[in-house]
Amino acid sequence: MKYPLFALLLVALAAPVAAQTPPVPAFQFKCEDHANTQLRKTYCETRDLTLPAPPAGTPLSVDARLNGSITVRGWAGATVRVRALVQASSGELADARALAASVRISTSGHQVQAARANGSLDDWGVSYEVLVPTNTSLALHATNGGLRLENVQGTIRFETTNGGVQLLNLAGDVRGKTTNGSLALVLTGATWDGTGFDVQTTSGSIRCEVPATYAATLTARTTNGRVKASLAPATRKQLLPRSLMATFGKGGPQLRLATINGSIEVQQPAAGSSLAPGKE
């Protein structure tokens, strides 16, 4: 009778530890059906990787160049989890499959990047979905692909050439740009937690959603476009056709938005109401 009692004691001791383990969010990236033609076939596969989180002060670098997008989401775990979606195309499906197999993904030195075995950049691309501990600094690079960042705090730098950028519930020191693409930002909480952000696009619109009660200072400028703002009555602002300076609450961290060829829209609901992301 001693052994069953001892086993039950072990289970009882282990249960609280198991309960503290955060659930792993499910990856959202998956291969889609492609409309193959007689001349072109596309093959897709996913690869899941786990690597240690970078130490404080060291960014996790994700490079999706030449053809690929990046999605980063913060989670309560202590490791970095990556899903790489590898796509390749060729005249024959077997050749496309072989091309995808030749793509090598490196994760050394807290850098995630891919390369084809023979060095060619043609006819293949890798997109990344990355789950990181919430407090993780990032350095993200893409060329032909969009960026999406959610629930991350740290020193964040990003750049893409042809792709839109979505920033949701971020904090820290965030700076980045896209050349041909729009920017969408959703702020949360009572204020920006950190230094602030400075984001810009060359050819694209910007939309920023601010909570009804917030504390920060925002500057928005466009060269060839218009600035539109729908702000809570208590928000102090100076709105001109191509610029906006707004002080939310008592002010605070500096938030900067800029575009050259595009419009800017800043939305803030009145106190007591809410604004659903992406909705008027």
Residue type, position 157, single letter: R
Residues 175 and 85 in one domain: no
Give the mean model confidence (pLDDT) for residues 34-50.
89
- Nearby residues of 37 by Cβ (< 8 Å), 6 or more positions away: none
Residue 272's contacts (CB-CB under 8 Å, 6 or more residues apart) are 212
Q: Confidence band (pLDDT; 50, 70, 90) for 279?
A: very low
Q: Is the pLDDT of residue 95 over 80?
A: yes
Q: Are residues 114 and 173 in the same domain?
A: no
278 and 200 housed in the same domain = yes
In this predicted structure, what is the pLDDT of residue 280? 39
Residues of the chain with pLDDT > 70, as a percent, come to 89
d(C-alpha 51, C-alpha 140), whole Å: 17
- Residues 231 and 193: their CA atoms lie apart, in Å, by 21
Same domain, 178 and 279: yes
Q: Is the pLDDT of residue 150 over 90?
A: yes
Given this model, what pLDDT does residue 277 score?
Answer: 46
| Whether 195 and 117 share a structural domain | no
Q: What is the mean pLDDT of residues 227-233?
A: 96
| pLDDT tens string 71-93 | 999 999 999 999 999 999 999 99
Query: Confidence class of residue 178 from pLDDT cuts 50, 70 and 90?
Result: very high
Q: Identify whether 199 is part of a domain.
A: yes
Cα-Cα-Cα-Cα dihedral sign, residues 256, 192, 164, 105? positive
More confident position, 65 or 270: 65
- Mean pLDDT, residues 130-153 taken together: 98
Q: Which amino acid is at 140?
A: L
pLDDT at residue 9, as a whole number: 43
Is residue 12 situated within a structural domain?
no
Looking at the domain assignment, is residue 259 inside a domain?
yes
pLDDT at 270 over 60: yes
Q: Which of 115, 146, 177 is the last residue of a domain?
A: 146
Bin 108: left if φ > 0, else alpha if -120 < ψ < 50, else beta.
Answer: beta
Neighbours of 12 (CB within 10 A): 9
Tell me if the pTM is above 0.75.
yes
pLDDT at 54 exceeding the cut of 50: yes
Q: Are 231 and 275 in contact (CB under 8 A)?
A: no
Question: Quick check: 7 pLDDT over 90?
Answer: no
Question: Does any domain span residue 227?
Answer: yes
* Number of domains, the chain: 2
- Is residue 18 pLDDT above 70, yes or no? no
The reported pLDDT for the residue numbered 131 is: 98
Looking at residue 34, its pLDDT comes to: 75
Look over the chain and give the mean of its residue pLDDT values, rounded to a whole number. Answer: 90
Structural domain including 226 reads 164-280
pLDDT at 166 over 80: yes
- Give the mean model confidence (pLDDT) for residues 60-69: 95
DSSP string across the chain: -HHHHHHHHHHHHHHHHHHHSPPPPPP----------SS-EEEEEEEEEEEEPPPTT-PEEEE--SB--EEEEEESSSEEEEEEEEEEEESSHHHHHHHHHTEEEE-GGGEEEEEETT---TTEEEEEEEEEESB--EEEE-SBS-EEEES-EEEEEEEEEES-EEEES-EEEEEEEEEES-EEEE--SSB--SSEEEEEEEES-EEEE--SS-BEEEEEEEEES-EEEE--TT-EEEEETTEEEEEETT--SEEEEEEEES-EEEE-PPTT----TT--
Q: Is residue 94 part of a domain?
A: yes
